[in-house]
Amino acid sequence: MGRASAERARAAPGGFLLALPLLLFFASAVLWPVLDLLRSSLGREGGEALRAVLREDRYRLALLHSVLLSAAASAGSLLLAAIPAWVLARDDFPGKRVARALILLPLTFSGVMVGFLTLVMLGRVGAVPTVARFLTGAPIGSGAAYTLVGLFLAYLYFEVPRATVALESAFRRLPRDVDRAARTLGAGRWTRLRRLTIPMLAPAIRSTLAITFSASMGSFGVALILARRFSVAPLEVYTELTGFQNDAAAGVLCLLLAAITLVVDRLLARGRA
């Protein structure tokens, strides 16, 4: 027992030295900027900016749009990813690797590229309105890329692959013996889904919702391309910094975004516990 303790004591300094570069990077690239942002936002100028952000409609609407879009995108991506994640985790079929690669391909795209692809599909002369005009004589969906619906679909574009990765891993860990035993005892498909599968997957479902919600809240490139008739919080941050040189308002908006995201993540984490 004493020998093991001595070995752990000798290994501890070496482990700390190996982790030191990462700790220094975290302190300089994450911790210090966040603390500086808190310092500047909690001062007199930051207090005035906070009151302005909470008072003006455009800031409040931008935050509301971000929250609603992120919540809708996280829920929608969870529903859309469930079946492909189950198939990839539980079934073997020819071309499985190719199918997984195609599903995950949007994760390699930047937000700007996703916005451009949405324009190709749902812009004023996009593929969808062009085909609709040919079939019906009316350009159905023309300009939809610039609406909340278009931005929602663009969010789904890169959130569905993210949700698929998370759910596939969870589906792989599901014990098949439990489901097989329930089926042997006469439990139907929906009973097994309601009484066994969903409860066992509940922590993974909450984690997937947290991941996709957080990613959507911080999405900027897609909104930069598509948000013409409305705004979202990351776009307001960009506008305040580049258009008005208003660092205080931009900092307050960043803190509000971070606070909302953290609260949602903690609520979902409490459900996972």
The stretch 225-242 carries a mean pLDDT of 85
Q: Which two tokens stand for residue 133?
A: 């005009």
DSSP one-letter code for 105: G
Mean pLDDT of the residues in the chain: 83
- Residue-wise pLDDT for 187-232, tens only, equals 676 777 777 777 888 888 999 999 999 999 988 888 888 887 778 8
For residues 100 and 89, the answer to whether their CB atoms sit within 8 Å is no
Return the higher-pLDDT residue of 185 and 24: 24
- Residue-wise pLDDT for 36-52, tens only, equals 777 776 666 667 777 87
Alpha helices in the chain (DSSP H): 2-26, 32-41, 44-55, 57-90, 96-104, 111-122, 127-136, 148-172, 176-184, 189-192, 198-217, 221-226, 233-242, 247-272
Least trusted range by pLDDT, from 27-41, 115-129, 201-215: 27-41
Write down how long the chain is.
273
Residue 272: pLDDT above 70?
no
pLDDT at res. 273: 53
Q: What is the 3-state secondary structure (H, E, C) of 107-125?
A: HHCCHHHHHHHHHHHHCCC
